[in-house]
């Protein structure tokens, strides 16, 4: 650890504290994610092992780079590239984002996520706090504490995933046999938040989160969610709310943005757009020019 000079605490992640530090060899500013190990328990927390294994596989400009791992008896330290801020802080500071900035951020989220999904890795905890930004307007996916490879031969996953406001309705209804579509729902929630500057579905608990979604998108039916009756938390007595038009939910969006949003926020996971389809959507037709001029 002599190599890294700890500077100041910058936050707390899924399983540890994050510090800004200086690499004394290169002079580079890095992020140290320190995970305290409980000596009474066996070894490293499984969430940390999972994150390390995944990040070592992923080398992409829109995914936070893991440089080094240092393991001592009572502490595991992961050395990441350092980025200035996260999207939550950026949104809180800026309030209203220009459309080219929104488009650039959304494109980069999808590019990073596409790389995850290419390796059959679900992020499962996409939210503004886990999207890191540098001063050049580059955005990177971070905090893979809940991510897991869908290549692992386990059919039923835990339902305790994804921060509530970005959690897909099938998971909220108890579906545990899910796939990359859960991340696409989270992308849709973030997309709307980039335009509105406030969360689209701010529920207080799981039941309230379901109701908030149903009141805005309409209560799901077998037509919009064919496996509805198989989800353990579905109640046939749920009030039937009518859907609100997307242009009322996100008034600043143009028709192309609204079309992309509607495809990300599909109730039926099988019909939800994937990363490749989203990146090819006409909304991004001018992305090349936007990225060339990128400056936030």
288-290-293 Cα angle (round to 5): 110
Residue 281 near residue 94 (C-beta atoms within 8 A): no
Residue 190 near residue 166 (C-beta atoms within 8 A): yes
* Mode of pairing for the β-strands spanning 4-12 and 17-23: antiparallel
Residue of 125, 170, 183, 274 with catalytic role: 125
Annotated catalytic residue 285: no
In sign, the C-alpha dihedral spanning 53, 59, 62, 67 is positive
Annotation-wise, does 9 bind a ligand? no
Residue 140: phi and psi, rounded to 5, are -135, 140
**DSSP-derived secondary structure for the chain:** -TTEEEEEEEEE-SSSEEEEEEETTT--EEEEEEEE--TTSSSS-HHHHHHHHHHHH---TTB--EEEEEE-SSEEEEEEE--SEEHHHHHHHHSS--HHHHHHHHHHHHHHHHHHHHTTEE-----GGGEEE-TTS-EEE---TT-EETTSS-SSPPS--S-GGG--HHHHTT--S--THHHHHHHHHHHHHHHHSS-S---SSHHHHHHHHHHHH----TTT-TTGGGSTT--TTS--PPPPPHHHHSTT--HHHHHHHHHHT-SSTTTS--HHHHHTSGGGTTHHHHHHT---
Q: Which residues are catalytic?
A: 125
Q: Which residues are annotated as a binding site for ATP?
A: 33
Q: Which residues are annotated as a binding site?
A: 33
């Amino acid at each position: 650890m002599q190599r890294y000079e700890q500077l100041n605490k910058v936050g707390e992640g899924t399983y540890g504290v994050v510090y800004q530090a200086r690499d004394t060899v290169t002079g580079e500013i890095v992020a140290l994610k320190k995970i305290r190990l409980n000596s009474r328990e066996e070894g490293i927390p499984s969430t940390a092992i999972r994150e390390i294994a995944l990040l070592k596989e992923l080398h992409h400009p829109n995914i936070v780079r893991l440089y080094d791992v240092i393991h001592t008896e009572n502490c595991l330290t992961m050395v990441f590239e350092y980025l200035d801020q996260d999207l939550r802080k950026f949104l809180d500071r800026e309030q209203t984002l220009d459309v080219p900035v929104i488009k650039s951020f959304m494109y980069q989220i999808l590019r990073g996520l596409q790389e995850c999904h290419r390796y059959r890795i679900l992020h499962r905890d996409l939210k503004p706090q886990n999207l890191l930004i540098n001063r050049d307007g580059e955005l990177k996916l971070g905090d893979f504490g809940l991510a897991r490879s869908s290549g692992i031969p386990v059919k039923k996953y835990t339902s305790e995933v994804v921060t509530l406001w970005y959690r897909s309705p099938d998971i909220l209804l108890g579906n545990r046999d899910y796939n990359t579509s859960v991340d696409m729902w989270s992308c849709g929630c973030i997309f709307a938040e980039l335009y509105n500057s406030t969360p689209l579905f701010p529920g207080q608990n799981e039941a309230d989160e379901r109701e908030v979604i149903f009141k805005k998108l309409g209560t799901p039916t077998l037509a919009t969610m064919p496996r509805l009756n198989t989800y353990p938390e579905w109640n046939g007595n749920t009030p039937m709310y009518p859907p609100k038009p997307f242009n009322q939910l996100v008034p600043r969006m143009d028709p192309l943005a609204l079309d992309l949003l509607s495809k990300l926020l599909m109730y039926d996971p099988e019909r939800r757009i994937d990363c490749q389809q989203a990146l090819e959507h006409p909304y991004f037709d001018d992305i090349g020019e936007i990225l060339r001029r990128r400056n936030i």
